Amino acid sequence: MAETLLFNALRAAVDEEMQRDPTVFVLGEDVGHYGGSYKVTKDLYKKYGDLRVLDTPIAENSFTGMAVGAAMTGLRPIIEGMNMGFLLLAFNQIANNAGMLRYTSGGNYKIPMVIRGPGGVGRQLGAEHSQRLEAYFQGVPGLKLVACSTPYNAKGLLKAAIRDDNPVLFFEHVLLYNLKEDLPDEEYVLPLDKAEIVQRGKDVTILTYSRMRHHCLAALKTLTQQGYNPEIIDLISLKPLDFDTIGESIAKTHKVIIVEECMRSGGIGAELTASINDRFFDELDAPVLRLASQDIPTPYNGMLENLTIVQPQQIVEAVQKMVALRV
Amino acid sequence: MSQERTIPTLPSVNPVSRDEGLMLYEDMVLGRAFEDKCAEMYYRGKMFGFVHLYNGQEAVSTGVIRAMRPGEDYVCSTYRDHVHALSVGVPARNVMAELFGKATGCSKGRGGSMHLFSSEHRLLGGYAFIGEGIPVALGAAFQTKYRRETMGDESADQVTAAFFGDGTTNNGQFFECLNMAALWNLPIIFVVENNKWAIGMAHERATSQPEIFKKASVFGMPGREVDGMDVLAVRTVAQEAVARARAGEGPTLIECLTYRFRGHSLADPDELRSKAEKEEWLARDPIKRLAAYLTDKNLVSADELKAIDRRIQEVVEDAVKFAQDSPEPDPSELYRYVFAED
Ligand SMILES: Cc1ncc(C[n+]2csc(CCOP(=O)(O)OP(=O)(O)O)c2C)c(N)n1
Ligand SMILES: [Mg+2]
């Protein structure tokens, strides 16, 4: 496929899966004729028709419930949240039905569906369009939470999510859609439950995901110049967490820094910290250090916004401190 | 007392054969006897949580579901779901066992009274939150159209019925789904069981337009008003709606004027509804009404009906015994069914 932008990698994943399986369809606001707010479904309606690339009215709760009903009866819906934040209106259908219904029904129904779309903190979009939703959804039983971060993993993970028989919340980041990468020509599918080792190292384990992976890589440049050798792991699966990969890394470095865009309170990092303490406490040389975004609505002002989310320089300092065990 | 509406009468009801009459009678009696038994079991501490009984509304479940193809068409319910489950054919044993929380329950003891499911019977479920079943039903109806139109499946002519109460029609999902159903011409029937009350909220205190069937018109959808205490009237209207949906002519909203003979749930002291109102509606008991019709028309004898009553009583007793004797869910399977692979 040669050099591909992330949104086109997602588009290719949807296209390939729709081609492969006639029960796969897309629904959401402006996914059809308009092509999706970030063009992930551009022109797919021309190939698959209006029913398979279904433009819905602006009725998040109801079209999400409709996708649940379609999934229960054998289709494989992919919902696009125009912005994932709008799916707060569908919280009931996502939590009570997508997440819990299989269990509540005693296994009568399975719900193979993907809920995907742009999220995270963009550039000065204001609080409502700069949500950190993974914190809200991680408590829902029965949901898988996946965050993509590169064109390569976006494509392979989305294909896996579409094939998965469970409801998958698939997080894309508004600021990553134009990342470019050479993609293989041949088909590939990535495992949904495996973390990705982005950089092998030995000094400290950095656990991150989504856009913060790229902040960690920015910090890595400085850190390498200073002689540090951190291991960077992209979690990929935010629920369930890949404790095999995480544990192996901790057994090597004995130090953990979490870098996330999520809220500090009750976020992915909070859960991760608690679980690492539960599972790997004896391996740790220092308490887990958590870099998270501030517990405030994301402010509009650019300078305040930068203060709200983690910056590469903070990661550099955290590694310096952690390696010197000044924590 | 909440306002009374004039009970509508249809110009004519579709006649029923003797067999159909017996089938309808049996289904309604099963619903009634099952619910009475639930009350008894609840007070004896055999079932727990919120239990919402259906007494009085039987003509709606039987009239609609038995006008469909049970096991083939889809039915979506609410927390007041026992009788819908029975009408679609989930055995009384498995419904009762679910209420007892047993492993043999239709939801394996994970669901309880408000969450009865059976994929085998195409029961899409009991939903405990107001309105949330409506979109799910819409999805099943969409699926039928999708299979037919994009996958060339000629056998995809199933109809979906979504049941919900008067109070639920003030929720956004009702309007959103009416819109989408009409927009996409989906094979769905919205069945409003207007029993005049939403717990303690009298219908006309909650809505600016109490005549719910009229709300269909703004979506370009037929809205029908029917006497929900008359199973033959409900059946007539339902048959027409099912035929329309099956023929690809789109959705229908049916408002059934009905009444629950018990409190909102078994935990409800039922203090707001007046004695006069209750008596007026009790006098319109749909089971007695059908019995009178069948005997007046000489389709069946009173003895035959009594024999059905006795047989159903046995079915219900057997369900209780089955539930009682069934095993508890296996504690080692606590996590089972969270994910599809389990
Ligand atoms: C979203 C939501 N809000 C509130 C409730 C509590 N509740 C349960 S039943 C009910 C009344 C519903 O009335 P109606 O729709 O008329 O149905 P009925 O109980 O009369 O069959 C309410 C408010 C709920 N279950 N779900
Ligand atoms: Mg009501």
What residues of B are in contact with residue A106 (Cβ under 8 Å)? 105-111, 117, 337
The Cβ of residue A245 has, within 10 Å, a number of other Cβ atoms equal to 21
Buried b (16+ CB within 10 A) or exposed e, A12-22: bbbbbbbeeeb
Q: Closest-CA residue in chain B for A56? A: B180
Q: Closest-CA residue in chain A for B162? A: A69
Using the 8-state DSSP alphabet, how is residue B118 labeled? Answer: B
Distance from CA of A166 to the nearest CA of B (A): 6
What's the gap in Å between B138 CA and the centre of ligand 2? 21
Is there a contact between B111 and A105 if contact means CB atoms under 8 Å apart? yes
> How much is the pLDDT for B209?
96
What's the gap in Å between B162 CA and the centre of ligand 2? 15
Distance from CA of A186 to the nearest CA of B (A): 27
Buried b (16+ CB within 10 A) or exposed e, A67-86: bbbbbbbebbbbbbbbbbbb
Catalytic residues of A: 60, 129
For residue A240, is the peptide bond before it cis, meaning its omega torsion is within 30 degrees of 0?
yes
With contact defined as beta carbons under 8 Å apart, do B107 and A106 qualify?
A: yes
* Ligand index nearest the alpha carbon of residue B2: 2
CATH superfamily assigned to domain A2-183: Thiamin diphosphate (ThDP)-binding fold, Pyr/PP domains (3.40.50.970)
Region of residue B221 (phi > 0: left; psi between -120 and 50: alpha; otherwise: beta) = beta
Average per-residue pLDDT for chain A: 97
Q: Which atom of ligand 1 is nearest to the CA of B203?
A: 16
Q: Which atom of ligand 1 is nearest to the CA of B193?
A: 21
Q: What is chain B's pLDDT, residue by residue, as a tens digit (342 residues)?
A: 566 899 999 999 999 999 999 999 999 999 999 999 999 999 999 999 999 999 999 999 999 999 999 899 999 999 999 999 999 999 999 999 999 999 999 999 999 999 999 999 999 999 999 999 999 999 999 999 999 999 999 999 999 999 999 999 999 999 999 999 999 999 999 999 999 999 999 999 999 999 999 999 999 999 999 999 999 999 999 999 999 999 999 999 999 999 999 999 999 999 999 999 999 999 999 999 999 999 999 999 999 999 999 999 999 999 999 999 999 999 999 999 999 998
> How much is the pLDDT for A326?
79
Tokens read off for A146: 């996946």
Q: Which atom of ligand 1 is nearest to the CA of B52?
A: 19
With contact defined as beta carbons under 8 Å apart, do B190 and B253 qualify?
A: yes
Is there a contact between A103 and B337 if contact means CB atoms under 8 Å apart? yes
Q: Where are the beta strands (DSSP E) in chain B?
A: 74-76, 123-125, 160-165, 188-194, 197-198, 201-202, 223-227, 252-257
With contact defined as beta carbons under 8 Å apart, do B3 and B210 qualify?
A: yes
Q: For residue A256, what are the CA distances in angstroms to A287, B106, B228?
A: 8, 46, 65
From the candidate CATH numbers 3.40.190.10, 3.40.50.12780, 1.10.150.530, 3.40.50.920, the one assigned to the domain spanning A196-323: 3.40.50.920
With contact defined as beta carbons under 8 Å apart, do B164 and B81 qualify?
A: no
Q: How many alpha carbons lie under 13 Å from residue A324 in its C-beta half-sphere?
A: 9
What's the gap in Å between B165 CA and the centre of ligand 1? 8
Q: In this structure, which amino acid lies at residue B57?
A: Q
Q: In this structure, which amino acid lies at residue A97?
A: N
Ordered by start, the domain boundaries in chain A are 2-183, 196-323
**Best mutation site among B77, B79, B117 for testing chain A: the one with the most A CBs within 10 Å?**
B117
Is there a contact between B111 and A64 if contact means CB atoms under 8 Å apart? no
With contact defined as beta carbons under 8 Å apart, do A145 and A197 qualify?
A: no
Backbone φ, ψ for residue A180 (5° rounding):
-120, 145
Is there a contact between B111 and A141 if contact means CB atoms under 8 Å apart? no
Q: In this structure, which amino acid lies at residue B191?
A: V
What's the gap in Å between B23 CA and the centre of ligand 2? 27
**B185: three-class secondary structure by DSSP:** coil
What residues of B are in contact with residue A67 (Cβ under 8 Å)? 139
Percent of chain A with pLDDT over 70: 100
Using the 8-state DSSP alphabet, how is residue A99 labeled? Answer: I
Distance from CA of B288 to the nearest CA of A (A): 35
Q: Which atom of ligand 1 is nearest to the CA of B128?
A: 25
Q: How many alpha carbons lie under 13 Å from residue A17 in its C-beta half-sphere?
A: 31
Task: Mention every residue, 6+ apart, whose C-beta is less than 8 A from residue B50.
Answer: B79, B113, B114, B265, B266, B267
Q: In this structure, which amino acid lies at residue A58?
A: I
Q: Which atom of ligand 1 is nearest to the CA of B132?
A: 1
Q: Chain A window 237-296: which residues touch B at a Cβ cutoff of 8 Å? A: none
Tokens read off for A140: 């829902």
Tokens read off for A214: 């790229």
Residue whose entry in the numeric block shows the structure tokens 């059934």: B256
What's the gap in Å between B259 CA and the centre of ligand 1? 15
Tokens read off for B243: 């035929």
Task: Mention every residue, 6+ apart, whose C-beta is less than 8 A from residue B277.
Answer: B1, B2, B196
Q: Which amino acid residue places its CA nearest to atom 19 of ligand 1?
A: B198
CA distance B257 to B5: 9
Class of domain B18-320: alpha beta
Residue whose entry in the numeric block shows the structure tokens 């066992």: B97
Please provide the DSSP assignment of A50-98 as one string.
TTTEEEPPS-HHHHHHHHHHHHHTT-EEEEEPSSGGGGGGGHHIIIIII
Distance from CA of A144 to the nearest CA of B (A): 9
Distance from CA of B112 to the nearest CA of A (A): 8
What's the gap in Å between B165 CA and the centre of ligand 2? 5
Condensed to tens digits (0 to 9), the pLDDT of residues A14-49 reads 999 999 999 999 999 999 999 999 999 999 999 999
Q: Is A93 on the interface with B (CB under 8 A)?
A: yes
What residues of A are in contact with residue B172 (Cβ under 8 Å)? 59, 61-62
pTM here is 0.97
* Angle at which helices B302-325 and B286-296 cross, to 10°: 140
Is there a contact between A108 and B117 if contact means CB atoms under 8 Å apart? yes
Alpha-carbon Rg for chain A in angstroms: 20
Please provide the DSSP assignment of A200-250 as one string.
--SS-EEEE-TTHHHHHHHHHHHHHHTT---EEEE--EEES--HHHHHHHH
* Closest CA relative to residue A38, chosen from A9, A61, A77: A9
With contact defined as beta carbons under 8 Å apart, do A259 and A310 qualify?
A: yes
With contact defined as beta carbons under 8 Å apart, do B50 and B114 qualify?
A: yes
ipTM entry:
0.96
> How much is the pLDDT for B2?
63
Q: What is chain A's pLDDT, residue by residue, as a tens digit (327 residues)?
A: 689 999 999 999 999 999 999 999 999 999 999 999 999 999 999 999 999 999 999 999 999 999 999 999 999 999 999 999 999 999 999 999 999 999 999 999 999 999 999 999 999 999 999 999 999 999 999 999 999 999 999 999 999 999 999 999 999 999 999 999 999 999 999 999 999 999 999 999 999 999 999 999 999 999 999 999 999 999 999 999 999 999 999 999 999 999 999 999 999 999 999 999 999 999 999 999 999 999 999 999 999 999 999 999 999 999 999 999 877
What residues of B are in contact with residue A142 (Cβ under 8 Å)? 338-339
With contact defined as beta carbons under 8 Å apart, do A218 and A246 qualify?
A: no
CB-defined site of ligand 1, < 6 Å: B 80, 128-130, 164-168, 193, 195, 197-199, 264
Q: For residue B224, what are the CA distances in angstroms to A114, B5, B8, B186?
A: 37, 15, 10, 17
Partner residue facing A66 (CB), from B180, B337, B341: B180
Q: Is A227 on the interface with B (CB under 8 A)?
A: no
> How much is the pLDDT for A134?
95
Torsion angle, alpha carbons of B328, B332, B334, B337, to 10: -100
Q: How far is CA A99 from the centre of its chain?
A: 17
Supply angle C-alpha A207, A211, A214, rounded to 5.
75
Is there a contact between A70 and B146 if contact means CB atoms under 8 Å apart? yes
**Best mutation site among B95, B114, B142 for testing chain A: the one with the most A CBs within 10 Å?**
B142
**Best mutation site among B134, B148, B151, B337 for testing chain A: the one with the most A CBs within 10 Å?**
B337
